[in-house]
Structure 1
Amino acid sequence: MELTAMEARLNAIVGRKSYNCDILFRVIDIQEQNGRKVAVLYGEDVRLIADAPFEDLVTLGPAERSKITQAFRSLEEQSFELFKQDIELMKEKREYEATHGYKEELSYFQLPGRVLHLDGDPHYLKKCMNLYEKIGVTVYGVHCYEKEMPVRIHALLDQYRPNILVITGHDAYSKSKGKKADLNAYRHSKSFVRTVMEARKKVPNLDQLVIFAGACQSHFESLIQAGANFASSPLRVNIHALDPVYIVAKICYTSFMEQVNVWDVLRNTLTGQKGLGGVETKGVLRTGMPYKPMDED
């Protein structure tokens, strides 16, 4: 059903006819451009920002929305199961090493590091926080609009002192604004790049502060050059809302004495190497002993 002025409201869920309604979008703003109504859209499952005229938008019924959403949910469940298997194998390896090949009974504890997650979308931030909790990662989530991130990052780093920093939200490349190499042709890549650069002024070492930066179609090369360990999007494709969490969790559960192979980080994400990339990085997990429960004398 074509979107009408009566139906055009904030947070309405719509699809774009010109793209065969392949992605669910949420209306976050309504503007007038050149005499016609235009809706500003955030992807429901991918970190994409777009705008579209009303005549290109349709409201989707429950059955249509469920069909599109189910495909993403299936991918999420598959990635989560693969990730759990990966974490279990890493845990068994650490236990083997800590007990000298299971020859000694040693009690130990682990510190997987702290994460500061800046997100331009509070809806996505909530989804990510739920996944962090399921995985067992200590995280501080802050909703911060993309253009405000470069200004706020210094104070946030001082406040939370994280081992890992996530800088994400929504982004998009616009061919009409320039070539793919032109940073000005992107919606929020410039803000992400500036935020990474400001963070690196505080912590220059790539292993002391691990940074993931970017969203859908972001300028990957500029983000890496600015100092990000991992970024999106090498082929300018859309990335899933939860992809940053899987990258961060892999680093959290890898020992600081080990390097994380880039492919090992990417293989359990929903997007893979087309949408995500990075450089070799050390893990942040630290193992200590002995472990003593707090209720013991």
Structure 2
Amino acid sequence: MAKVKAGDIVKRLSYGGDLLFKVVEVYEDKNIALLKGINIRVLADAPLDDLVIPSKSEVREYKINLIKTYNECLERIYYRRELENERKLIRNNKEENGFFYMPARVLHLDGDEDYLEICLNTYKQLEIEAVGFNIAEKEQPKNIRSLLLEYAPDILVITGHDGLLKSAKDFNNVNSYRNSRFFIESVKEARKIQPSKDELIIFAGACQSYYEGLIKAGANFASSPHRVFIHALDPVMVIERVAFTPISKIISLKEAIEATITGTKGIGGIETRGKYREGLPRSPYE
């Protein structure tokens, strides 16, 4: 059996090998490795003897399935936009009469550089104006204030990796989670700057995060109600609904959550107004 090292792609025998992980660090003295999900926002410890390096064909097939899931999500969004006439047709008609569209601005903090890149590319494909920063979860609370003041976003995403600790016995204790305390602190810091849940819309959390704590701290949307893993793109799927729901309407929680890959077991939220704004007149100098 090949020796596992940092950067390797592995699967866990005890979990049936259905998920692939990337090795973040190996602790030889403890015979364990720290893993992060390839497509799920989780950090987990695993015994070295429980890890197997999959074949190249397994990794290729896994990544093909990820791309397929990603494309299916985008197709559903494009189909919904066309079917509901929410953007393209309505906007084009109104532009002829002098209306213009003011896009929502997104500030995305992500503890994972790879996931951040995927999310930013997806925002771009979905025509959502976004700026993102790769900031470790424990450092996020320290950076919230300055970033909010500099970028003045309409929507804030605070995410990265999380997970229940093996020793966890109390799901309502923030110390049972790897990074939930940092997400909660970040939400609280953001609410000091903008208390209104309609002026600044916040998505916070990752895999198995302390959902109730995040909502109480001031998040509009959070993970994970049933302490399940969430997909790397789940935050983006929620934000898309926020960005393209008119400000005069309350976002359909059912539609917003069902648009995610994980669904209601992984994502939840509270009633929130949309961020789609129209203006009049359109400047002749644009």
| Residue 69 (structure 1) aligned with residue 63 (structure 2) | yes
Which of 243, 251, 261 aligns to 1:270? It is 261
**Structure 1 stretch 57-66 or stretch 220-229: which is displaced more?**
57-66
Q: C-alpha separation between the residues in 2 aligned to 1:120 and 1:285? A: 28
- SS of alignment partner, residue 273 of structure 1: coil
Deviation of 1:223 (Å): 0.4
Q: C-alpha separation between the residues in 1 aligned to 2:110 and 2:104? A: 19
Q: C-alpha separation between the residues in 1 aligned to 2:49 and 2:5? A: 15
| Residue 221 (structure 1) aligned with residue 212 (structure 2) | yes
| Residue 117 (structure 1) aligned with residue 113 (structure 2) | no
One-letter code of the match for 1:25?
Answer: F
Alignment of structure 1 residues 1-297 onto 2, 5 Å = 2-4=1-3, 8-32=4-28, 35-92=29-86, 105-292=96-283, 294=285
Q: C-alpha separation between the residues in 2 aligned to 1:233 and 1:183? A: 13
1:222-258 deviations in whole A, cap 9, x for unaligned?
A: 1001000000000111100011011111111111111
Q: C-alpha separation between the residues in 1 aligned to 2:79 and 2:198? A: 25
**Structure 1 stretch 172-181 or stretch 267-276: which is displaced more?**
172-181
One-letter code of the match for 1:253?
Answer: F
Deviation of 1:124 (Å): 0.4
**Structure 1 stretch 115-124 or stretch 258-267: which is displaced more?**
258-267
* Superposition misfits of 4+ residues, deviation over 6 angstroms: none
Question: Cα distance 1:92–1:9, how it changes in 2: closer, same or farther (>3 A)?
Answer: same
Cα RMSD over matched residues? 2.1
Work out whether residues 178 and 184 of structure 1, in 8 Å CA contact, stay in contact via their aligned partners in 2: no
Deviation of 1:91 (Å): 4.1
Work out whether residues 91 and 100 of structure 2, in 8 Å CA contact, stay in contact via their aligned partners in 1: no
Q: TM-score, normalising length from structure 2? A: 0.94
Deviation of 1:163 (Å): 0.3
Q: C-alpha separation between the residues in 1 aligned to 2:133 and 2:91? A: 37
Q: C-alpha separation between the residues in 1 aligned to 2:63 and 2:268? A: 26
Q: C-alpha separation between the residues in 2 aligned to 1:72 and 1:96? A: 33
One-letter code of the match for 1:291?
Answer: R
One-letter code of the match for 1:57?
Answer: L
One-letter code of the match for 1:21?
Answer: G
Work out whether residues 166 and 213 of structure 1, in 8 Å CA contact, stay in contact via their aligned partners in 2: yes
Q: C-alpha separation between the residues in 1 aligned to 2:62 and 2:16? A: 11
- SS of alignment partner, residue 21 of structure 1: coil
Structure 1 portions without partners, runs of 5+: none
Structure 2 portions without partners, runs of 5+: none
Q: C-alpha separation between the residues in 1 aligned to 2:224 and 2:51? A: 26
